[in-house]
Amino acid sequence: MGAFWRLIPLVILFGVIGAMAYVGYQMYLYANDLKDKGLKNMEKKNVTFTKDGMKVGVKEVRDEDYADKTQNVLVNVWNNASFPAYKSPVMGWMQDDKSAGKKLTKEQKAS
């Protein structure tokens, strides 16, 4: 019976070490799973990790789409622009006052 009591601390030690090993293994599995999910998420955004480092892919944009977006931006800028100092003698373009469309006098043309 004395030998049995001497083995109890050894059994407890193996139990604690086993529990710690189980927790460590679960943390290892979770970390690898998290890494795989992160890689998949980054691959959706055209980013890949290699031995040499990280490579970023560029989405393919057709020339026509690029030209359309560029032209759209330029048209929007032109339409939203105002020229406060500009007074056109032709039909009163870009004038906010009520004299738009009227003929300009010599004094107005000079200013």
pLDDT tens, residue by residue, 13-58: 999 999 999 999 999 999 999 999 998 888 888 888 888 888 887 7
Number of domains in the chain: 1
Task: Give the residue from 26, 23, 24 showing the smallest Cα distance to 34.
Answer: 26
92 within domain boundaries: no
79 within domain boundaries: no
Give this prediction's pTM. Answer: 0.44
What pLDDT shows up at residue 109? 57
Q: Is there a contact between 55 and 47 (Cβ–Cβ < 8 Å)?
A: yes
Picking from 2-6, 43-47, 61-65, 94-98, which range would have the lowest pLDDT averaged per residue? 94-98
50 within domain boundaries: yes
Cross-strand pairs, 56 = 47
Whole-number Å distance between alpha carbons of 35 and 41: 10
42 within domain boundaries: yes
Q: What percent of the chain has pLDDT over 90?
A: 28
Structural domain range at position 14: 2-56
40 within domain boundaries: yes
Strand blocks (E) in the chain: 47-49, 54-56
What pLDDT shows up at residue 83? 67
Q: Is there a contact between 32 and 26 (Cβ–Cβ < 8 Å)?
A: no
Sign, CA torsion 73/74/80/84:
positive
98 within domain boundaries: no
96 within domain boundaries: no
Q: Is there a contact between 46 and 58 (Cβ–Cβ < 8 Å)?
A: yes
What pLDDT shows up at residue 103? 58
90 within domain boundaries: no
